[in-house]
Structure 1
Amino acid sequence: MSVRRALLSVWDKAGLREFARALRDHGVQLLASDGTGAFLRAEGLPVQTVSELTGFPPILDGRVKTLHPLLHAAILARRDQPEHLAQLQRLGIEPIDLVVVGFYPFEQVRQRSGDLAALLEFIDIGGPALVRAAAKNFPWVTVLVRPEQYGEFLALLRRGEIPEEFRRRCAAEAFARASAYDAAIAAALAAGQEELHWWSRSYTLVQRLRYGENPHQSGWLYGEGFRQCFRQLHGKELSYTNVLDLDAAVRLILEFERPTIGILKHTTPCGVGSDDDLVAAWEKALAADPISPFGGIVVVNREVTPELARRLSELFLELVIAPAFAEEAIELLRRKKNLRLLTYDAGAIRELLHEEFRSVLGGVVVQSPDTALLPPGSWRVVTRRLPTPEEEAALRFAWRVVKHVKSNAIVFARADQTVAIGGGQPSRLDAVRVAIRKARDVGVVLTDTVVASDAFFPFPDALQEAVAAGATAVIQPGGSVRDAEVIAAADALGVAMVFTGMRHFRH
């Protein structure tokens, strides 16, 4: 397919001058929207504007510019239909072979401003119409929707032919871009609505990952929001599992205001410790399970100090993430060339915690995020004995952690550290036993600890084994048909138990 005439209408002028000049050097006639035409003329390029072609100026403050049959006919005419070509000839319309469009920056403006009236003016109408027309007619028309496509197009133009495979690929990307644009607009207008008949989200490719969850799988990362939340300072490229671990790590650490360190493996916590001294917090986090952190993820909610960096460098870790790193800490950790160091922006992350979704066969499941912890009035002591102040502090700490452990989940803790964690088990009794066994394996004593359970105890057995191991207080949602039996067992054992009324399953 040869290219004789091109229509250019872009908001982002990056690379446009060079691209348009290259088109002219190949004898392509330039047609442009009035704004793009003014830019090209200022660069000394001959161009016909849409208003000059149609004899119809932009109206309604520019809301109507390119919505004209002379343009759309020139794009949509089938070159293999004699009647289409005859109609164009009778109307004096020359076909358009290349359409280059860049939409109004609705997504970027939405990030900067919540003013709906102003936002509406950045909903592009004419641009998507041109793109859809050109993409529909890809057997004869090429459509480009981002500057990164210019180079490949020009390389093909220099060879003298724009193959149909390229035009089809560009058409697919054009429809995807239009769909993403509409999805962003729909999401903005539906903000605050919990249930929608049509649900769609669209994300831009950020990077191709080294592989998926396993080396034989392919993987990609989508979503510009990810770049707003994280910045990599050092180390290998992120893997698929690194991205999932990052997500889990920051969700965990945002639960804590005190200086806190979390250690995770395969998205689940191995240990969490809080202390004004970060090295002490690290030791507390590590004490619960000194084996699992090998090859794990460390997340910190304070700047990483040189002292902490020295301790971290003693272990093989995949990734360390923190709000900041002291310069000396970076230099120490950079000695491990493959260790990934990232900073995170807590404010940006909190802004994105408004919905969660996961793919399932044939669709997605969507939910509001589990950001609630202990709403006012949810703390209810159901036993005769009240928790002591020390136990209450430990219960609140354990409750923050257990919601981030895979269900069924059990956390033994003290006021500022996890002591043993059992998660991902098919029964609550199994989760208790796993935690107890892990503690015994590393010589950790469970005496005078508290226990958090992400869901109710269906029978007294798990509670009884936890208390036998050394727990003195329990926090759980309640809600079992056997709550009375479990409460009676707690009273018989002399432990305090709190119901929160809120379950924290994690699958």
Structure 2
Amino acid sequence: MSSNNRLKNALISLSDKEHLLEISKVLLKKKINLLATGGTAKYLKNYNIPVIEISEYTNFPEILNGRVKTIHPKIIAGILSRRDQDQKTMQLYNILPIDIVIVNFYPFDKINTQKTYPIQEIIEKIDIGGPTLVRSAAKNYRDVIVIVNFFDFKLIFDSMTNHYISIEKRLYLAKQAFLYTSSYEKSIAQYFTNEDKFDTKHKKNLFPNQFQLQFVKKQNLRYGENYHQKSALYIEENNLNPGTISSAYQIHGKKLSYNNISDADIALECVKQFSQPACVIVKHGNPCGASEKRSLLKAYISAYKSDPISAFGGVIAFNYIIDTETAEEIIQRQFVEVIIAPEINHLSLNILKKKKNIRILITGQFQKNNEQIDFKKITNGLLLQENDNSTIDIKKFNFVTTRLPTKKELKDAIFCWNIVKYVKSNAILYGFNKTTISIGSGQTSRVDATQLANIKAKNRGFDTIGATMASDAFFPFRDGIDKAASIGISCIIQPGGSIRDKEVIECANEYNIAMIFTQKRHFKH
């Protein structure tokens, strides 16, 4: 089914004029008359494009410093008129039917939220006429084509024949228009919510009665968690900081998958915990190797050697620029899915490009993660919680055993505590010289996680005498301490808080193990 209207008149009002000339030339080639607001008309006239300025057509000037430009009966009626019902009224008032409306708004959602603007300056950037034009055209989609982005203009006009557009395409464009105006209104509402000084109770409430999410699609992904699942990556376009996987750009390799991005996010957020050159390798949602050393090369080699079997096909994250020595070592040592770093030089990139499928993500300079809310989708619902952005404060540590940790043990304890936060619960982690040597992850009991860490350390031939243990939650019984002592663990860092803490501390004292209570748990599910 097609609309019977021949396209004669188009109204154009563009804040972003990047594609304005191309759009105008296509319309003129199809012998469609152009009407435009003052700024758009001036731009076209500079390029000798024939155009009728709206104020000339309505015989009414733009007033109130541009606040009123297009809201005039001859414009709105020209868009809303039903071609099969309103002809007499249109003729009586000499109103032209407007067949095409092409509009984009001032990008309110692109305002730099890090900079403070006077509210009056912000208010003047709120578009009133543009959304009115778009909503009017979308409402009358059977008779009017509404376009709010250049992609849709190309899609429609490249396939248009004999000035006709199918009703299906018109309905699609109307949907796009309402999505556009809805997104625009939400960005304005968010600004006013942030500025609201009256509703202080709401402002302090992390969990409002209504929780709205707005993300835009960055890219389709290769597949989901499994080959039969489709997937895509959506990002917070209005709150996108450098130094994240969401803002990273891919400079080499195959298309990313759902698992690639999930693991890359864990690896990156984990490696950002360290100030010295560090490497974190993640596989299936868990760190399997991590190290902090004086050079990136040493950090990578140590992280890889801590669990080379799990590192196969893993995701590697660095917190420093990738040098040529490290790039060569990666190529020689292992098969890797994704490499993430803040920067990479061209020599290192050329080395890594020898493997055509390695996905290389560059994040830019790291910034502190200030996200307040973390959420998880459940069936027909959403779980919200405060983000676990807590930093280590040694002043809040409780040293609960007779023997205090040595300086080296304390450094290893802090290193292990930074890593275990990213391991799925129940989590036990062993570290030595700021390198992981065994990780027991995702077990349903803490003693099993400890036993798993013991087995992995033994199987890989690590000397665990003098190593440090981190536990993401308290020990409910002393059995975990007994197992740790059996392989020579000399220091344990854990939250504390069990009703059997006294028994656990006494057990540590029996083995002359130094124990630290952080008073903060790091469950991860």
The corresponding residue for 1:178 is: 181
1-structure distance, mates of 2:435, 2:329: 18
Whole-angstrom CA distance in 2 between matches of 1:506 and 1:19: 52
C-alpha distance after superposition, 1:78-109 (max 9, x if no partner): 445x2x45444444333322111111022222
- Aligned pair in 2 of structure 1 residues 386, 299: CA closer, same or farther (>3 Å)? same
Listed as ranges, the matches of 1:366-385 within 5 Å are 366-375=384-393, 377-385=395-403
Is 1:205 the counterpart of 2:254 in the alignment? no
Q: CA RMSD in A?
A: 2.3
Q: How does 1:46-445 map onto structure 2 within 5 Å?
A: 46-80=50-84, 82=85, 84-110=86-112, 113-117=115-119, 118-191=121-194, 194-223=206-235, 224=237, 225=240, 229-314=247-332, 315-347=334-366, 350=368, 353-375=371-393, 377-445=395-463
Determine which of 33, 36, 44 is the counterpart of 1:32. Answer: 36
The Cα shift of 1:261 comes to 0.8
Q: Distance in 1 between matches of 2:508 and 2:328?
A: 44
CA contact (8 A) 2:472 2:495 kept: yes
Residue 36 (structure 1) shift: 1.2
What do residues 103-127 of structure 1 show as CA deviations (whole Å, max 9, x unaligned)? 1022222257332534443332322
Aligned to 2:200: none
1:479–1:77: structure 2 CA closer, same or farther, 3 Å change rule? farther
**Superimposed CA distance per residue, residues 194-246 of structure 1 (whole angstroms, 9 cap, x where no aligned partner):** 33333323233222222222221212222353788312222112222222122
Moved more, 254-263 or 240-249: 240-249
Once the two structures are TM-superposed, the CA of residue 480 in structure 1 deviates from its matched residue by: 2.6
Give the stretch that moved more between structures: 283-292 or 392-401.
283-292
CA distance in 1, matches of 2:461, 2:515: 26
**SS state at 2:396 partner:** coil
CA distance in 2, matches of 1:75, 1:227: 44
The residue that corresponds to 1:15 in the other structure is 19
Contact 2:343 2:364 in 1 (8 A): no
Report the counterpart of residue 497 of structure 1 in structure 2. Answer: 515
Q: Percent of counterpart pairs with the same letter?
A: 38
Change (3 A) 1:150 1:393: same
Q: Check 1:112–1:3 CA distance in 2 against 1; reply closer, same or farther (3 A cut).
A: farther
What TM-score do you get using the length of structure 1 for normalisation?
0.92
- Residue 399 (structure 1) shift: 0.5
What one-letter code is carried by the residue in structure 2 that aligns with 1:456?
F
Q: How far apart are the structure 1 equivalents of 2:117 and 2:249?
A: 29
One-letter identity of the residue aligned with 1:420:
S
Provide the C-alpha distance between the structure 2 equivalents of 1:433 and 1:116, rounded to a whole number of angstroms.
60
In the alignment of these two chains, the number of paired residues is: 504
Residues 471 and 162 from structure 1, CA distance in 2 versus in 1: closer, same or farther, beyond 3 angstroms?
Answer: same
